[in-house]
Each structure stands twice: as C-alpha cells, then as structure tokens.
Amino acid sequence: MKLENMYQEIILDHYKRPHGKGLNEEFQAEVHHVNPTCGDEITLRVSGNEDGTISVSYDNQGCSISQASASIMFDQINNLNFEHGEGAVEHLVAMLQRAEDPNEDVLGDGIALVGVAQYPARVKCALLPWMAWKDAAIQAGMKKEK
C-alpha cells in the first residue's frame, strides 16, 4: 500500500492534534477559502506584529490532509514576515506540483506531505491553508511592492 506514504504518522498526528487551531479576536484581514468539490473550508486571519512579522490564526474543517497541512502551516509560518512565509508557500508548491526536493528547514513537518504529490486530487487539500495565508497577507497589505 502506498497509502502510508501519504498518511505518514506525523501527518496523522497533526490531524488528530492540530496546532494553533482557533481564531484570534484581533486581525487585519480575514479570508475564507473553500475547496468546492470536497467541502474543505478554512477561515484564516492575519495581523502584523511590531517587528514586521505576521501572526496567523485559523479555524477549519476538512480532510486529514488539509487539517494536518493547516497545523503544519501554523508551525512554520506563524510570526514569519511575508517574504519568508511566501517562500515557504512557494516551496510547498514546488514540492507538490513539480516534484522538487523538500527542504526541512523551510517546511518543517511539511516535508511529510511529500506523499500527497502522488495524488493530484489531494494536492489542493494540502495547499488550501497556505494559499489562504498568502491571500490574507496580501489583502492586509503585507506584501511590499518592490
């Protein structure tokens, strides 16, 4: 069974005991992203910290992959600045859609999502929280024009 490649122990752990789930009262931008075919949903809020980093909070429902991915995203991106956060998102996309080798420094437990790449229909589940973060951060004006 290849199933264990996707559902690694570490993914199931995040799924069962998600990190950072629950919305902060205060926020600068809130987005609601959905995956209309399967019903995954996430509400995500961002607010800027004084040091230029971004704090994130979320609430969601969905499959194990999207929930674990949200938990991992929280670990990796919370309190990063936009540039670093965006780098992590890009890196996840590269790993899932272009089979690039993952970098544990950037993705943390996210490297365990590598097995998802074999199931194109699930890639969207894994990306959902990360894309929501990027959208929210841009809406909050945290992307600096160059």
Task: Give the Cα separation of 72 and 123 in Å (integer).
Answer: 15
Tokens of 116: 């998802």
**What's the start-to-end Cα distance of the chain, in Å?**
47
Binding letters toward other proteins, positions 121-140, x by CB under 8 A = xx--x---------------
DSSP 10-49: HHHHHHHS-SSBB--S--SEEEEEEETTTTEEEEEEEEE-
SS3 67: helix
Only segment of 36-44, 75-83, 104-112, 131-139 that touches other proteins (CB under 8 A): 36-44
Q: Which amino acid is at 53?
A: T
Identity of the residue, 40 or 86, whose beta carbon is nearer to other proteins in the bound complex: 40
CB of 60 to other proteins, least distance (A): 10
Out of 13, 24, 28, 34, the only residue in the binding site for other proteins (CB under 8 A) is 34
CB of 118 to other proteins, least distance (A): 10
Instruction: Mark 81-109 as b/e (b = at least 16 C-beta within 10 Å).
Output: bbeebbebbebbbebbeeeeebeeebbbb
Residues 65-104 that bind other proteins (CB under 8 A): 65, 67
CB of 52 to other proteins, least distance (A): 29
CB of 121 to other proteins, least distance (A): 4
Size, binding site for other proteins by CB under 8 A = 24
Note the residues at the interface with other proteins (CB under 8 A): 1-3, 6-7, 12, 34, 36-41, 61-65, 67, 119-122, 125
